[in-house]
Amino acid sequence: MSFALSILLIPLAIFALLLLGGCIWTAALSRKAEKMVPRLGQMQPVRGGAIHYLDLGPRDAPPVVLIHGLSGQLQHFTYGIAPLLEKQWRVIVLDRPGCGYSERDHDKLAALPEQARMIHECLDALQIENPVLVGHSLGGAVALAMALERPERTAALALISPLTHRQPDEMNAFRGLDVSSVPLRHLIGHTIAAPLAQRTAVTVLTEVFRPETWPEDFLARGGGALGLRPKGFIAASADYMEAVGNILSQEQRYANELKTPGGVLFGAEDNLLPPESQGKVMTAFGLHYEAVPGRGHMLPITAPELCADFIWRVADRAANAA
C-alpha cells in the first residue's frame, strides 16, 4: 500500500471508529433508558406491528383512549391524567405505533392514516366501542384521523394542544428530526442521535415546556428517557416527516367529513403550536375551543387535573347532544 493511499485511509478509519463509538454509547444509553422506564403493559399484534397498551379501570365503564404526541410515550398520560380518570372510565393508554414499546415494521407506517388504522385494530381486538379519543399534540392529528375514518364509532374528540393543520414555521425544538432519507435516519439513530439528545436534553425540554418548567421526574415517571434509544429518534423523525406530508390532505377533509363532537384545549402560551391557527380554527368544524392563560404545550404533564376536567366536560357535552 502506497504512503499516499495510507494517508487517505486515515480519515475513513477515524470516521469508522467514531461510528463504532457512537453505536456503543447509544447501546449503553438504550439499556439505561429501558431500565429507568420499563415496559408497563401488554402487546396487541396488529397489521404492520404491535401496540403496547395499558387497560385501566372498570371493563364495563365508558371507554376513553389516550394518544400521546411527538417523541412521547404512554407515560405522558400515566404521569397524571390516567389515575384521575380510571375510577369511572375504562382507560386505554397506549404507545403510538413505533413509539415507546409499540412496534411498526417500517417508517411509512408513521403516516397518519396508518397510525389511525393500527390503533383502530388494537381497539377492535380489545372490543372497545365508541370511545372518547384524547389526543395530545401529534396525537391530536392521529385522533382526528381516527375520527375521520370511523365517525360513527367515535363518541367524542378531546384534543389537547393538537396539531390540526399544516404548520408553516419549523418548530425549533424538532429541527433535528427533519431527516427525509430513511437509511440516513436509521444510521443517525443508531450512532449519534442518543448521545446528542443526552447533551441537549435540558435545552430541548426547556423549549418544549416553556413558559412552564419541566418536572425533575420527567425522564423516569414521564418516560422521557426512552427518547435516548435509537428507536426513539427513528420513530420521532418518521412521525415528523410523515405528519408534514399528511396533515394538509387531512385538514382538507374537516369541512365535509368531520362529524364527531368535541373540543380543543390549548395553553395560551404554547411555544410549539400556535393556539389560534391550530386550535381556535377548529371551531369552524364544530369543536369548541378553550385557551388557558399562562400555560404551555405540555399540559398532560403540567396540568393533569385541568386536562381531566376538560375530558369530562367534552364527554358530557357529547353525551347530552346525543
- Domain assignment present for residue 26? The answer is no
Looking at per-residue pLDDT, the higher value among 226 and 310 belongs to: 310
Cβ 294 vs Cβ 268: under 8 Å: yes
Cα–Cα distance measured from residue 215 to residue 236, given in angstroms and rounded to the nearest whole number: 22
Query: Domain tally for the chain?
Result: 1
Cβ 264 vs Cβ 136: under 8 Å: no
- Domain assignment present for residue 18? The answer is no
- pLDDT tens, residue by residue, 92-117: 999 999 999 999 999 999 999 999 99
C-alpha cell belonging to residue 103:
412496534
pLDDT in the model for residue 23? 60
- Domain assignment present for residue 21? The answer is no
- Domain assignment present for residue 61? The answer is yes
Which residues form the domain of 176? 32-321
pLDDT in the model for residue 174? 78
CA angle 220, 225, 230 (to 5 degrees): 155
- pLDDT tens, residue by residue, 140-163: 999 999 999 999 999 999 999 999
Task: Tell me the sheet residues that pair with 92.
Answer: 55, 65
Residue 248 contacts by C-beta under 8 Å, 6 or more apart in sequence? 166
> Above 90 in pLDDT, residue 25?
no
Secondary structure E strands in the chain? 42-46, 49-56, 63-67, 90-94, 103-104, 132-136, 156-160, 262-267, 287-292
Task: Kindly report the CATH number assigned to the domain that includes residue 133.
Answer: 3.40.50.1820
Residue 28 contacts by C-beta under 8 Å, 6 or more apart in sequence? none
pLDDT in the model for residue 284? 97
- Domain assignment present for residue 52? The answer is yes
- Domain assignment present for residue 91? The answer is yes
Q: CA end-to-end span of the chain, whole Å?
A: 81
> Above 60 in pLDDT, residue 13?
no
Grade residue 193 by pLDDT with cuts at 50, 70 and 90: confident
Report the chain's mean pLDDT, rounded to a whole number.
90
- Domain assignment present for residue 20? The answer is no
Mean pLDDT of 219-227: 89
- Domain assignment present for residue 14? The answer is no
pLDDT in the model for residue 173? 66
Print burial letters for 184-204: b (CB count within 10 Å at least 16), e (below 16).
ebbbbbbbbbbbebbeebeeb
C-alpha cell belonging to residue 26:
447509544
Cβ 134 vs Cβ 67: under 8 Å: yes
pLDDT in the model for residue 316? 93
- pLDDT tens, residue by residue, 265-277: 999 999 999 999 9
The residue type at 92: I
Looking at per-residue pLDDT, the higher value among 194 and 317 belongs to: 317
> Above 50 in pLDDT, residue 278?
yes
Grade residue 17 by pLDDT with cuts at 50, 70 and 90: very low
